[in-house]
Amino acid sequence: MLTLLAFPTSEAVLSASEKELSEKISSLCKSRSDLWAQERAKKLKEAALRNPFQNNLYQSNIFNLEMLVNLVLQYQEHLSKIATEIDALAKEEEYHILQSIPGIGEKIAATIISEIGDRSI
């Protein structure tokens, strides 16, 4: 996604060298190897060459793309926070008691706890 922000059009991808693309991908995906980044850069170049719309006619398309990418990144951040909260719920005793009921797994137990709330009051 962040690579898409850096190179939003086929023109941008084609004007950059494969090494430049690889370095950018590598800097954004630190957990991946340089070889992986080089392969992705090569695939990105090939995809840009196959794109039937080589020239972007409207700047508004790039603006919309940037907005949508940022929106997806925000959603990912929110989902990450929700996952952290679910993990916190999983440490409660009620969570383990609910999971002892046949057919109730991790997600359903967390959902029940979040819907019912704290009943210790």
The predicted model gives 104-110 an average pLDDT of 87
- Pairwise CA distance, residues 13 & 45, whole Å: 6
- Pairwise CA distance, residues 95 & 9, whole Å: 48
Q: Within 13 Å, how many C-alpha atoms sit on residue 9's CB side?
A: 15
- Pairwise CA distance, residues 78 & 46, whole Å: 33
All structural domains of the chain with their residue ranges: 1-57, 58-121
Read off the pLDDT of residues 38-53 as tens digits, 9 standing for 90 and up. Answer: 999 999 999 999 988 8
Q: What is the pTM for the complete model shown?
A: 0.61
Go through the chain and tell me how many residues it has: 121
Selection from 4, 95, 81 nearest residue 44 by Cα: 4
Structural contact between residues 13 and 48, judged by C-beta atoms closer than 8 angstroms: yes
The confidence band for 19, taking pLDDT boundaries of 50, 70 and 90, is very high
Q: Any residues with CB less than 8 A from the CB of 22 and at least 6 apart, and which?
A: 34, 37, 38, 40, 41
DSSP code per residue over 50-104: H-S--S---HHHHHHHHHHHHHHHHHHHHHHHHHHHHHHHTTSHHHHHHHTSTT-
The predicted model gives 54-66 an average pLDDT of 84
pLDDT given at position 82: 86
pLDDT given at position 33: 92
